[in-house]
Each structure stands twice: as C-alpha cells, then as structure tokens.
C-alpha cells in the first residue's frame, strides 16, 4: 500500500497569501494513500527539509509530494532531502502551487481548489513512481576540439595542460584562424601574430595534443563520454613526416597568380602553398583545383625539386576514427561577402574592400608589408571612408543582430590608417558606437580625439565611381539628416559577422541546436553559455555568436574547464529519465513488434536492435532496445509506439494516465 | 445559475511552455485559474490518447503547447509532434469532434505573457462553447 | 486462372515455395482463403472478382510462417501490404513470392521486393472518383452532422475486433486494445470505448493502411471504417507527399518531419 506524505509550503506569503494552505493540507490528508499531510512556512529551509526527512522515517513514507514552487526550481533540493532520509529520490514529486497557482491567480476559493487538484494529480502520479537509479557511463578522457582559431587553440591548450589528451582538427592548412590574419588588435594595438604564433607553436609541440590540419569532421556518433568521431584528412599532397618546410616547392611552382585566401584576395599564392610564413604546421598543401598537374596531367616540378621526396601527388583522402569523451566546437565565423552589397559596389570597385582585406593591407607581414596601398593602382589613398554596420543590424540583409566587433575594429582601422598616412583623412559612418568593454570606449575616443578620425552618424546609401574617385553618399543624422558626400580613394566596409557556411551541417553532425542565423546555440543563454543541449559537446569562440578575442578566449577556457570537469572521474552518472522497451517472460519476451518505426523517430539515434535468441542460439525475434547512454528522455518514441512497448521512466504511460484520472 | 466555468487541461513540455508558465508566475501576470497543467518532458511525448482521455475525464478544452520550431530541447520532438497533431486534428474533425476545444501553441520559456494571454483566450473561447456535451453525452450513454 | 494454377503447381513441385496462399471455394458462392501445400491441390485456386481479401494478413501469422516459404496471390493492395510490412521489418526480401494479379486479372510472378515496387509503379493509387465523392460528402457536412453520422455508426460496434483481424497491418502481438496497464481503451463496447477504439485504429493506420477495404468488409455491422483510413491517407499524401506500401524501404511519415511542414492551427 502506498504511504504518501504531502508537504505544503507557504513560501512566506507567496503561496499562503493567496492559497488557503491549511485547507489544502486538510484536503490532501484525505486523498487515498496519503498518510501524512502538513504545511510549513518554508519547506526548502533546513527545518522544512528536516520535517520531510523525519516524516519519511517515522511514517515509513513510500512517496513524497512537495507542494511548493516550480520543480524547475527546487526539485533537486527535495529529491536530495528524500535521498538523505533513505527514500529513492525519484519517489518525490513536486506540485507547482506557486508559479502555476498562487502567483497567477487571485486570492479565493477557486485558487485554493486548484492547489488541491494540482496536489491530487501529483499524489496519483507519485503512487506509480518507481525507484530509479542514475545511470553510470564510462568516460574516454580524450577531447576533440574542432577549429584551430584562437578559441580552439586556447581550449586545446587548457585541456592538455590539465593533463588530458586532445585531438585538434582544423579545416584549413594551418591553425590560427582569423586572428592570424589580423594586423594589430584593439584595444591595445599589439601585433596579432606576435601574441598568437607562440601559442600555435605550443599546440604543435604539446605532447598531449594531436593536431590534424587540413582535416574535417566526417561524422560523430555516440554520446557523452563515449563519442566516436570519423575525421577526414584531406589529401595534402605532401608527406608531413618527410617535409621539412624548406619551401623550395613553393618557389618553383609555376602557378603564381592564385588569389590568396589568407590575404583575403589582396595577395597571390602558388598552387602548392602554406597560408603564411608563420603557418603551423609549416608544411604546404597542394591546391588541386589550381595545380598544373591536376589540370593538365603534367608538371610535377615540385616533386622534382623536393629533396626530401615528400611530394605525394597521388595521395588520397584518409578517414580516421577516434574515440573521444567530449567535443569542443570552435569553428569560428565568416564575414558577409561582396554579393551582398550591390549598393556599395563591393566586388565591383576594387577599392571598396572589407575589414579583413584592410587587416592584410595594414599587416607588416601582409602583401604590402604594412603600407596602405589601394588595390586598384597601388597608390596611397588620401581619403578613406570606413562604414560600420555594413549589413549588421539591417533587417533588409536578414541580419538584425549587432556584429559586436565592428565598431571596435573600425576605430582601430581608422587609427592604423592615420598612423601610417599622417595627412590622410579618415571618415567613419556609424549608427551607434558600441564600445562596451575594458578600455574600449577610451580606445574609440583616442581614434577620434588624438588621431582625428571624423565620425559621421548615419547610413551610407550609395557608392559610385566618378573621375577616379569613389563618391560616398550618406546622411549625417546629427546635423539634422543633412546629406553628405565624400570623395574617397578607398572605402572599407565593416561587413557583418556571419556563421560559417557549413555551420548548419556541422550542427547537424554534432546534433546541437543552432539559431536562425546558424550560430551554434548554447544550452542556456545565461547559465550554461559554453554547453550545448547535447551532453558532452561544448562551444568556444565565434561559432556561438560574434565575439572579439578576449571573449573567445574566455569562453574557450570555460569550455576547457567543463571538459576537465567531465574528465575528472572515469565514470559519469546520468539522470535515469530515459526510455525503456519492455521485457517479458517467454514466450512473449517483449510486446515490441520490431517495426522499428521508433528507430527513425528518435532524435538521438538511441534505439538499437536486439536479437532475442532461444537456448540453441536461434533468433526468435528482433526487438527494440534503448541505449541508455544516448537516450535523452524526450519520449518521442513512447508516443509513437502503437503497442506501448516502449515507455519513459519518470513519465510512464501509467503515471501520466493516472495524473489524468485524478482530474 | 452561475456562469459556466470550463475545465481546461494543458499538456506542456518541460523546457519551454512549463518554464514559460513559470515565468508568468515570477512576473506575477494573472490568468484564468481554469487550467490544469500536465508536465511532460517534450511535446514529442504527448500521446494523442492523452488528449482523448482528458476529454473523457470531463475536460471542456485542451491546450497542447511546447517549444517553437527549432527550439526543442531535444531538437526535433516538437516537429514529430506537429505532424501527429496535424493528422489527429484532421481525424477528429472528420469524426465531427469539436476541434475548437483543442488549442495548440508554441510558447517559449521567455513567453510568460503569451502563456497568460493564451490561457485566457482559450478559456474565453471554451466558455462560450459551453460544456463539452459531445463527450458528456457519450459517458452518460456509457453507463448502462 | 489456368496460368495461376500452373504457376502454383510449378512452384510447389520444384519446392521453391512450401505453400500457396490463395483463394479457393468457400460456402455457397463465396470464396475463402486456402493454403495449398501440394501440387495436385493447385486446381483449388480461384482468381476472379470475388477474390478481394487481402491475403497479406496471413504472412505475419506464426502458424503460416511455420509452413515455410509462401507464395501469395496478390492483388494491388496485397502487394502494397507486402511492401509496407517489409518497411516495418515484418518481412524480409525473398521470404515471399507474390503472384501479382493486375486489375485485368493478368498474373505476374514477383519474387523480390524490387519487382513488386516496379510493378506497382505502373499504377496510380489515387482514390477513385467515387471514393473521393464519398469523402467529400462527409467533409461537406457540418461537424454536428458528421458527429451524428459517426456516432450512429460507432454505436453499432460490438468490438469483435474483426476489423483488426482482417487488417494485414494489425500484426501486433499485443494490440493496444489489450493493454490494461493502463487500460487506454475501455474494454466494454460502450460509446466512449468504441470512439476510442476507432480513433486509435485510424491513427495507427495513418500512412500504413493500404486501402484494401478489408476492415469494412470484415465488420459484421457494416461500419464504413475504410473511410477513416482513406481520409488520413489523403491527408498524409496532401501534407507530406507520402503513400504507404510503395517501397520496401518506405519512410513512415509520422516518424519523420520537415521544418516547412505546414499547419495553420498552432498559435
Ligand atoms: C576585420 C576584423 C578585425 C578584427 N580585429 C580584432 C581585434 O582587433 N581585436 C579582437 O579582439 N578581435 C578582433 N576581431 C575578432 C577576432 O577575429 C575573433 O574574435 C576571433 O578570430 C575569434 O576566434 P575563433 O577561434 O572563435 O574563430 P576563427 O578565428 O574564425 O577560427 C575558427 C577556425 O576554425 C576553422 N574551422 C571552421 N570550420 C571548421 C570545421 N568545420 N572543421 C574544422 N575547422 C573549422 C577555421 O578554419 C578557423 O581556423 C576582428 C575580426 C575581424 C573580422
Ligand atoms: S518499440 Fe514500438 S515502435 Fe519501436 S519497434 Fe517496438 S513496436 Fe515498433
Ligand atoms: S525517449 Fe527520446 S531520446 Fe530516448 S529513445 Fe525515445 S526518442 Fe530517443
Ligand atoms: S490497432 Fe494498433 S495496436 Fe492494435 S493491432 Fe492494429 S496497429 Fe496494432
């Protein structure tokens, strides 16, 4: 027989002010199966919890209903209290008579009545609760970090320094990400490569980090602690073990006119190339699309000159499989490209460039060795217009959000330009200046006050060419929407930060959710900013939202701490709210019909097939089985299963049915 | 006779609508007290049979609510649910069951106000429809 | 018919199959299902327009499976049922030989699912004008009239579960109607239980029913159950573009979804 205890909380006046708690306690005491019903001022307080614990022992309770606030608030508290008194925590349920009752209804009979009913529903449920035990799963203490930008580098180093193995997978030929392309960085104007490259080298040399560049995630299976990743190592065309990075092949390659991705098209590269001299690893890759050998069938000049015989023109992509316990996605961002700005002539006029292109022009190791020369004729521009919010905060471009870093790097660009071209004129069109951050506002002020950048508040409507000048037409809203027209030699667009093109497919591979703009979603916007909804998968850097370097690094360290926490024990325990397929004595074995329609419905591929065999080993039938490591407990399969062979622990058919019967 | 007060049963997912209704509470937004919520992990778990049982237990109106498309805590439970609801609703309609008594909504954890408005509007609509006579007659016919 | 008998004899003689499931003489003018296991019995087989029953219903029965590999006389709905059963892992390729009968009565031996798929691809499975008109007539009634109509029908239900027994897709060992913990469907044949049963049956058959009409034919009190199935089949086709029993690797529309699934009732 059920012996249920009901504990009604006043929550000070929060509940008792609206609900007649004494009447509720009296009514609940009369429900069938309830042997104990009391009210108290603060159930969650120590004395409140003690009341529950004592009652469990004294009254030999088989179930507890705490009628108080939302279970989302205090369910763990009360379940813990029950466990401490020796009652299985899953025999405790909460009736939400605060958020769903006293706070949302007027004081009165109807509200008290509702509280009574909410408790009755939970009493009927708890009578059918079964003790559940958390599920233990082993943990593989190796982390997979996807993306070798600053975020991925930081995460990899932190995890490795905590003593765990790391596999770092970077899509491009070198790690470094966007930061490697930057000239100097706000708000301190320190040289980006100078602070980044030592970290890159550390990654390459770290005994606990395995680095796979020019590689991508092919698929990810499994679950927290037990993922299986397949990684595609794209054919580099170069044997990494033999290559010393001497670069003779690069000097000899006849294809010299390929726009360099690293230089954002501002410079050229060869078909066998490293993105930049500081690349890690420093071994080149062959770009087959542009290589003479792959186009024409002959050339092999690199092969001829390579003394180490490291060139492998016939190399194939290779798929490797690794077991990992956690994944950090740090795949970064992209920027909006030229096709999106016909009104600014971006892509049409060579002197309308984007922020990354400007970074390459300003970089001491860039194609112009840091001299600001405009792309069309290599002349030093006398007037430069910088346009912030190019695409950002613009519904028409489908980007309502703020790209967050453009205000800062635009100020930086204006500054860098003025430092290099002393009598040049820098104009900045902006909507608002968003410089929240340590020393950020001061930085912008310096650009305006010390370096004399002219800030004009307003949008630019059009850019066109006239007599060799770029005519920039806009308005200055601070001067009463007066039209302004500037004859510029170069225009720099701070184009919006967007998600990578393949972000959506990556999210699907990882089974993590993403927002409408394809940035990967954190599990909770405030409280779980580095976790995803998929246990064991974490986020770092700009793949989650536009971010600057300090933020990307902070998040990466956060993700690393989460991984280290996960790896701190060799087993982890999970909530037992998962689906199970029934097993019965022979000859039925299970009512599962083996239709496996649930298999496809499960969002986590948690449903497996099990062969039921007789003593001789002949298969009698094949039925479904839930992998407890994968199941997240959504219950989609339960609603789908026609014969109800599958049920969800904690929310079983019987429990929910009986809740309804209590209505 | 006092005005008819409908009985409304709401099936909600734990992560969005239940949390949204919690927010309605923390924001102290008032709404009709007719609704009784049944918490389930996900809209994907909401079996159409539960809706039938709710009517049989005397519900005059039913609310089914969970995370917006793309917001499902389990990524796709709500999409599965949506397809099932589409079929279920058209079947009920074909049987002449009053579908004006079943209301569906996406209510996120942030939409505390929407939850209150939704419950109020459903309660009003169902109040106007009056008691669920279809089912009441059925259950009377049931006792021989 | 001669062709069919000849094929049956051949298959049994060669041992390619152990049993032919077909139609044979029943009482009076009626036909019934027969299980022919010897070549000399092949002459029992009949194939004419009285032969409507969906014989796929037998393929999942343990007693029939125990007889060994079967060939089944299969009109179009039977062929669809075979593929649908395959999609639901109830049949494996090569386990049955279908003796496909075209609407004109021509027989084709189809021993692989692939062959059945190709055969079916030559036909349209839209509802006939007549069937559509019947559905439309109901659709055009007011909800109250429809309620009235169905209530009168369901009131007759004696819960013999003949509909279920006749359905090739109701192969569940333990039907939900027999589940008692909890008892989803009240067992007695009162109005609520009847309504529950018919709603549940229709939902279970959405995108699975192959429109053979056996449920209605099996019903001793003449409830037009097939209309419920047809309605949902139409709905599934309209909304998700899916038809049951067209492929052995058929996707089930209700364990699937698309972001752009259209509905207009969710606020
Ligand atoms: C013009 C410009 C100027 C900036 N100036 C500054 C500044 O002055 N100061 C500052 O703090 N910030 C600045 N930023 C912002 C800074 O670039 C970012 O904060 C930083 O690069 C984010 O690092 P990340 O590692 O998250 O992403 P990224 O730098 O984008 O790195 C992501 C890495 O992941 C790799 N990758 C992508 N997809 C995959 C995949 N599927 N598999 C494997 N690998 C993948 C990429 O190749 C890349 O190496 C600037 C940004 C721009 C655009
Ligand atoms: S659990 Fe249910 S849905 Fe899944 S295979 Fe078994 S019978 Fe089919
Ligand atoms: S409860 Fe959800 S996650 Fe678990 S097996 Fe069922 S569908 Fe998959
Ligand atoms: S009604 Fe449903 S549960 Fe019953 S046999 Fe048919 S498909 Fe299976």
Q: Is A248 helix (H, G, I), strand (E, B) or coil?
A: helix
* Residue A358 CA, ligand 1 centroid: distance in Å: 16
* Closest ligand (CA of A640): 2
Distance CA A69, CA A75 (A): 9
Residue A276 forms beta bridges with which residues?
none
Q: Are A173 and A284 in contact (CB under 8 A)?
A: yes
Do residue B9 and residue A651 have CB atoms under 8 angstroms apart?
Answer: no
Chain B nearest CA to A86, separation (Å): 26
Helices marked H in A63-214 — which ranges? 71-84, 109-127, 150-161, 192-205
Instruction: Answer whether residue A31 shows pLDDT above 60.
Output: yes
Give the one of B48, B104, B139 whose C-beta lies nearest to C267's C-beta: B104
Could you tell me the pLDDT band of residue B135, with boundaries at 50, 70 and 90?
confident
* Closest ligand (CA of A438): 1
Q: Which residues 6+ apart lie within 8 Å of C119 measured at CB?
A: C79, C100, C108, C110
pLDDT at A220: 93
Residue B36 contacts A where some CB pair is shorter than 8 Å: yes
Tens of pLDDT, residue by residue, chain C (267 residues): 788 899 999 999 999 999 999 999 988 888 999 999 999 898 889 888 889 999 999 999 999 999 999 999 999 999 999 999 999 999 999 899 999 999 888 899 999 999 999 999 999 999 999 999 999 999 999 999 999 999 999 999 999 999 999 999 999 988 999 888 888 888 777 888 999 999 999 999 999 999 999 999 999 999 999 999 999 999 999 999 899 999 998 888 888 888 888 877 788
pLDDT at B14: 93
Could you tell me the pLDDT band of residue B144, with boundaries at 50, 70 and 90?
very low
Query: Atom of ligand 1 at shortest distance to CA of A176?
Result: 49
- DSSP per residue over A175-219, as a string? S-GGGGG-SEETTTTEEHHHHHHHHHHHHHH-TTEEEE-SEEEEE
Q: Does the CB atom of residue C164 touch ligand 4 within 6 A?
A: yes
Lowest mean pLDDT among A140-154, B67-81, C160-174, C201-215: B67-81
- By C-alpha distance, the chain C residue nearest B142 is C190
Instruction: Answer whether residue B29 shows pLDDT above 70.
Output: yes
pLDDT at C267: 86
Query: Atom of ligand 4 at shortest distance to CA of C171?
Result: 5
pLDDT at C237: 93
C261-to-A120, A183, A515, B83 alpha-carbon distances in Å: 38, 47, 19, 8
Residue of A214, A252, A205 whose CA lies nearest to A235: A214
Query: What is the 3-state composition of chain A as percent helix, strand, coil, each rounded to the nearest 5?
Result: 30, 25, 40
C216-to-B91, C49, C210, C228, C229 alpha-carbon distances in Å: 18, 17, 13, 10, 10
Distance CA A491, CA A386 (A): 6
Query: Atom of ligand 2 at shortest distance to CA of A593?
Result: 7
Residue B71 contacts A where some CB pair is shorter than 8 Å: yes
Chain B CB contacts of A511 below 8 Å: 75
pLDDT at C260: 81
Chain A nearest CA to B41, separation (Å): 6
- By C-alpha distance, the chain A residue nearest C88 is A595
pLDDT at A502: 94
What does pLDDT average to over chain A? Answer: 94
Please give the domain boundaries of chain B with CATH numbers for all domains: 8-138 (3.40.50)
Helices marked H in A490-548 — which ranges? 503-510
Over range A408-432, report the average pLDDT. Answer: 96
Distance CA A332, CA A176 (A): 11
A26-to-A22, A89, A93, A423, B34 alpha-carbon distances in Å: 6, 25, 19, 86, 22
Chain A CB contacts of C172 below 8 Å: 591, 593, 642-643
Taking each helix axis from N to C end, the angle separating A71-84 and B17-26, rounded to the nearest 10 degrees, works out to: 100
Terminus-to-terminus CA distance in chain A, angstroms?
22
Please give the domain boundaries of chain A with CATH numbers for all domains: 4-127 (3.40.50), 143-217+324-330+520-571 (3.50.50.60), 235-316 (no CATH), 333-498 (3.50.50.60), 579-661 (3.30.70.20)
Give the one of C89, C252, C254 whose C-beta lies nearest to A594's C-beta: C89
Do residue C89 and residue A654 have CB atoms under 8 angstroms apart?
Answer: no
Q: Which residues 6+ apart lie within 8 Å of B133 measured at CB?
A: none
Do residue B50 and residue A660 have CB atoms under 8 angstroms apart?
Answer: yes
Q: Which residues 6+ apart lie within 8 Å of A431 measured at CB?
A: A388, A389, A393, A457, A458, A459
- Reading phi first (left if > 0) and then psi (alpha if -120 to 50, else beta), residue B130 is in left
Distance CA A569, CA C189 (A): 58
């Amino acid at each position: 027989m059920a012996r249920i205890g009901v504990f009604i909380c006043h929550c000070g006046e929060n509940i008792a002010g609206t609900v007649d708690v004494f009447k509720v306690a009296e009514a609940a005491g009369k429900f069938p199966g309830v042997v104990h019903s009391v009210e108290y001022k603060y159930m969650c307080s120590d004395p409140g919890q003690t009341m529950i614990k004592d009652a469990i022992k004294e009254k030999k309770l088989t179930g507890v209903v705490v009628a108080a606030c939302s279970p989302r608030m205090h369910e763990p508290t009360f379940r813990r209290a029950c466990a401490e008194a020796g009652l299985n925590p899953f025999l405790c349920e909460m009736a939400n008579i605060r958020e769903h009752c006293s706070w949302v209804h007027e004081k009165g009979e109807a509200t008290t009545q509702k509280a009574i009913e909410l408790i009755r529903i939970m009493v009927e449920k708890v009578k059918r609760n079964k003790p559940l035990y958390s599920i233990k799963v082993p943990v593989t203490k190796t982390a997979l970090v996807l993306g070798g930008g600053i975020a991925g580098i930081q995460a990899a180093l932190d995890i490795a320094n905590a003593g765990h193995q790391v596999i770092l997978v970077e899509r491009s030929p070198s790690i470094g990400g966007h930061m490697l392309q930057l000239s100097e960085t706000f708000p301190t104007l320190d040289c980006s490569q100078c602070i980044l490259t030592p970290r890159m080298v550390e990654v390459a040399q770290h005994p606990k980090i395995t680095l796979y560049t020019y590689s991508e995630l092919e698929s990810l299976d499994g679950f927290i602690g037990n993922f299986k990743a397949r990684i595609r190592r794209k054919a580099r065309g170069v044997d990494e073990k033999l290559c010393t990075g001497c670069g003779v092949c690069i000097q000899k390659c006849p294809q010299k006119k390929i726009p360099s991705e690293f230089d954002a098209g501002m410079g050229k590269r060869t078909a066998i190339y490293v993105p930049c001299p500081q690349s890690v690893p420093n071994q080149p890759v062959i770009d087959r699309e542009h290589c003479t050998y792959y186009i024409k069938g002959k050339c092999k000049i690199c092969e001829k000159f390579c003394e180490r015989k490291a060139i492998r023109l016939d190399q194939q992509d290779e798929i490797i499989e690794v077991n990992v316990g956690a994944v950090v996605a740090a795949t970064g961002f992209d920027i909006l490209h030229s096709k999106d700005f016909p009104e600014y002539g971006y892509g049409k006029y060579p002197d309308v460039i984007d922020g990354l292109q400007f970074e390459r022009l300003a970089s001491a190791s860039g194609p112009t060795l840091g001299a600001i020369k405009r792309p069309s004729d290599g002349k030093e521009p006398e007037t430069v217009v910088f346009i912030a919010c190019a695409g950002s905060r613009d519904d028409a471009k489908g980007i309502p959000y703020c790209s967050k870093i453009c205000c800062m790097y635009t100020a930086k660009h204006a500054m860098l330009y003025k430092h290099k071209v002393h009598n040049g004129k820098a104009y900045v069109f902006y909507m608002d200046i968003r410089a929240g951050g340590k020393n950020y506002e001061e930085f912008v002020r310096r650009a305006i006050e010390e370096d004399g950048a002219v800030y004009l508040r307003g949008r630019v409507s059009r850019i066109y060419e006239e007599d060799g000048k770029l005519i920039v037409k806009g308005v200055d809203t601070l001067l009463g929407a007066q039209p302004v027209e500037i004859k510029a030699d170069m225009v720099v667009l701070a184009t919006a930060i967007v998600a990578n093109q393949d972000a959506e497919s990556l999210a699907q591979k990882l089974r993590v959710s993403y927002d409408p703009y394809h940035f990967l979603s954190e599990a909770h916007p405030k409280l779980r900013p580095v976790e995803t909804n998929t246990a064991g998968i974490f986020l770092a850097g700009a793949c989650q939202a536009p971010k600057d370097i300090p933020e990307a690094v902070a998040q990466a360290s956060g993700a690393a701490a989460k991984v280290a926490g996960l790896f701190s024990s060799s087993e982890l325990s999970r909530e037992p709210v998962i689906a199970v397929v029934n097993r019965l004595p022979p000859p039925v074995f299970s009512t599962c019909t083996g239709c496996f329609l649930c298999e496809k419905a499960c969002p986590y591929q948690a449903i497996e097939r099990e062969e039921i065999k007789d003593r001789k080993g002949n298969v009698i039938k094949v039925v479904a089985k839930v992998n407890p490591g994968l199941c997240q407990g959504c219950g989609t399969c339960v609603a789908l299963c026609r014969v109800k062979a599958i049920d969800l622990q904690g929310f079983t058919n019987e429990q929910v049915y009986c809740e309804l019967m209590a209505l | 006779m006092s005005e008819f007060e409908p009985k409304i049963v709401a099936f909600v997912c734990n992560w969005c609508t239940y949390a949204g209704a919690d927010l309605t509470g923390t924001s102290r937004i008032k709404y009709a007290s007719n609704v009784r919520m049944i918490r389930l992990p996900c809209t994907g778990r909401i079996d159409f049979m539960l809706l039938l049982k709710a009517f049989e237990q005397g519900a005059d109106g039913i609310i089914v609510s969970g995370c917006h498309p793309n917001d499902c805590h389990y990524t796709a439970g709500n999409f599965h649910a949506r397809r099932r609801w589409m079929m279920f609703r058209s079947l009920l309609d074909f049987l002449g069951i009053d579908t004006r008594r079943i209301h569906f909504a996406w209510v996120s954890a942030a939409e505390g106000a929407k939850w209150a408005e939704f419950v109020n509007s459903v309660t009003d609509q169902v109040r106007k429809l009056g008691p669920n006579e279809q089912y009441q007659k059925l259950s009377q016919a049931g006792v021989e | 018919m001669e062709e069919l008998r000849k094929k049956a004899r051949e298959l049994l003689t060669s041992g390619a199959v152990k049993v032919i499931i077909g139609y044979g003489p029943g009482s009076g003018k009626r036909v019934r299902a027969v299980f022919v296991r010897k070549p000399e019995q092949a002459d029992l087989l009949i194939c004419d327009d009285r032969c409507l029953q969906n014989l796929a219903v037998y393929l999942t029965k343990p007693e029939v499976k125990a007889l060994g590999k079967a060939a089944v006389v299969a009109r179009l709905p039977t062929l669809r049922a075979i593929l649908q059963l395959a999609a639901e892992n109830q049949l494996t390729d090569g386990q049955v030989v279908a003796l496909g009968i075209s609407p004109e009565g021509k027989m084709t031996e189809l021993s692989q699912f692939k062959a059945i798929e190709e055969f079916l691809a030559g036909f349209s499975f839209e509802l006939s004008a007549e069937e559509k008109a019947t559905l439309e007539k109901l659709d055009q009634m007011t909800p109250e009239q429809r309620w009235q109509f169905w209530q009168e029908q369901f009131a007759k239900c004696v819960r013999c579960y003949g509909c279920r027994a006749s359905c090739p897709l109701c192969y569940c060992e333990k039907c939900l109607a027999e589940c008692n913990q909890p008892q989803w469907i009240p067992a007695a044949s009162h109005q609520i239980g009847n309504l529950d049963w018919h709603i549940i049956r229709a939902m279970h058959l959405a995108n699975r029913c192959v429109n053979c009409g056996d449920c209605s034919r099996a019903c001793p009190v003449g409830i037009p159950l097939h209309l419920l199935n047809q309605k949902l089949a139409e709905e599934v086709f309209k909304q998700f573009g899916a038809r049951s029993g067209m492929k052995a690797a058929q996707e089930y529309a209700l364990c699937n979804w698309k972001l752009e699934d259209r509905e207009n009732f969710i606020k």
